Amino acid sequence: MKKLTLSEAMRAVSADGTIYARLIKEPSGDLGFYRPRPTDPQKPHVRDEIYIIASGRGKFTCSGQSTSFEAGDALFVPGGAEHRFEGFSEDFAAWVVFFGPAPPQGN
C-alpha cells in the first residue's frame, strides 16, 4: 500500500519548476500529478488516462470538444486523443491516472 497526499504531490511538482511528477509506476498503470504553468504543453499519450482535478478551474478540450472543469471533476481521455487544458486558474492542478499496459517506451 502507498498513500500520497495532495501536499506531497504539490511539492513534487513545485520543487524545481517541474509540471508533471510520476508518483506511482506499476505495469498496469501510473499515478502522476500535473500542474502546468502558464500554458498546457502536452501532446497525446499512448495510454488511456483520467484527470481528477485537485484544484482550480478552466476549460478542457479533447478531440475538438470543450467543457469547463473545476475541482472534484474527473475527465477521461482515450489514448492518442489530442487534448489540452486552457484558460485555467493559477491554482490549477490535477491527479493523472494512466492505465492499461505500458507501451515499450512510456506514455
83, HSE (Cβ side, Cα atoms, 13 Å): 17
What domains are defined for the chain?
A: 6-85+94-99 (2.60.120.10)
Letter string b/e over residues 46-78, b meaning 16 or more CB atoms within 10 A of that residue's CB: bbbbebebbbbeeebebeeeeeebeeeeebebe
The Cα–Cα gap between 15 and 94 comes to 17
pLDDT tens for residues 37-89?
A: 899 999 999 999 999 999 999 999 999 999 999 999 999 999 999 999 999 99
Say which DSSP state 103 is in.
P
Map grid coordinates 486523443 to a residue.
81
pTM value is: 0.90
